[in-house]
Amino acid sequence: NINLRLVSDFQRVECSQFVLHYQPQFSLSSQRITHVEALIRWQHPELGLLPPLQFIPILEESGGIEKVTRWVVSETVRLLQKSEASFSISLNITTRDLVNDDFCAFVHQQVRNLEASRLVFEVTETGIFEDSGRAQQNIKALHALGIQFAVDDFGTGYSSLSYLNELAFQEVKIDRSFVSKLLTTNRAKAIVRSTVQLAKELGLNVVAEGVEDKATLDSLASFGVDRIQGYYIAKPMPEEELSAYIS
């Protein structure tokens, strides 16, 4: 069974075979790349380059995910500290991380020599908080350091609006499932437009992911989206390509 194999490989090598690829986000107001999203891959010696969907869910189940999140945080902090270009990095963290006080202490330590506002923690909206009071406290504490928070895959879960109401987010990320149908279905268009409107009234930034053509970009720009991400701008790329791309 491939899943069992990956769990046992992870227990043996931990994060040493992981790599991050970065997908640029284009700011529509400044017309430049201001953010990138860090996307994890497993460079497996026998199975090749594995996408996150193949291993993240099983590591969440087997309890290895906290090590993974910490590895991603420390890698992104390292890149921000050494990069000469000025940009921010978005990265996914889990709801489990947010109710873990040790994780917050770890982040605090990591960002001591960094302008922490250059980190955006994306929390997938379908993740359910076991302890939303604890999560709220930790989000506030991390935000006090300067870290920004975004709701990822916005609109795909049931908790969208209560998330925005209860938790201190600065950004919403509209899921690609809506963005990809923006030009072909009125329902997707209405959802995207009303999401942007709601976000703006709440003083939040809006990022749209999965943008693959200019017509979609133009439509999103007319709604007032702040940043876009997708193959129309750039595919995810390794760190060495990113520095050439951004500079």
Residue 155: predicted pLDDT: 66
Nearest to 209 by CA among 171, 163, 159, 168: 171
111 CA to centre of own chain = 18
Euclidean distance between CA atoms 221 and 218, whole angstroms: 5
Average the pLDDT over each of 22-36, 66-80, 111-125, 127-141 and give the range with the smallest value. Answer: 127-141
Is residue 148 within 8 A of residue 179, CB to CB? The reply is no
> Between 139 and 166, where is the model more confident?
139
Highest mean pLDDT out of 9-23, 117-131, 155-169: 9-23
pLDDT at 239: 93
Whether the per-residue pLDDT at 156 is higher than 80: the answer is: no
Identify the pLDDT of residue 95: 83
Q: What is the pLDDT of residue 92?
A: 94
**Tokens (6 digits) for 68:** 């993974």
The residue that leads in pLDDT, 247 or 62, is 62
Q: 38: closest CA among 66, 87, 76?
A: 76
Contact criterion met (CB below 8 Å) for 214 and 183: no
User: How large is the average pLDDT for residues 178-191?
Assistant: 94
Q: What is the mean pLDDT of residues 236-246?
A: 91
Q: What is the DSSP letter of 30?
A: T
Give the pLDDT confidence of 26-68 residue by residue, as tens digits: 999 999 999 999 999 999 999 999 999 999 999 988 989 999 9
Residue-level pLDDT at 44: 97
Distance CA 240, CA 238 (A): 6
Phi and psi at residue 215, to the nearest 5°: -60, -40
Spatial neighbors of 42 by CB under 8 A, at least 6 apart, are 6, 17, 18, 19, 49, 50, 54, 55
Could you give the percent of the chain with pLDDT greater than 90? 73
Spatial distance between the Cα atoms of 114 and 117, rounded to a whole number of angstroms? 9
Nearest alpha-carbon partner for 180 in 200, 159, 209: 209
pLDDT for position 126: 57
CA distances from 239 to 65, 76, 82, 99, 232 (A): 22, 10, 12, 30, 19
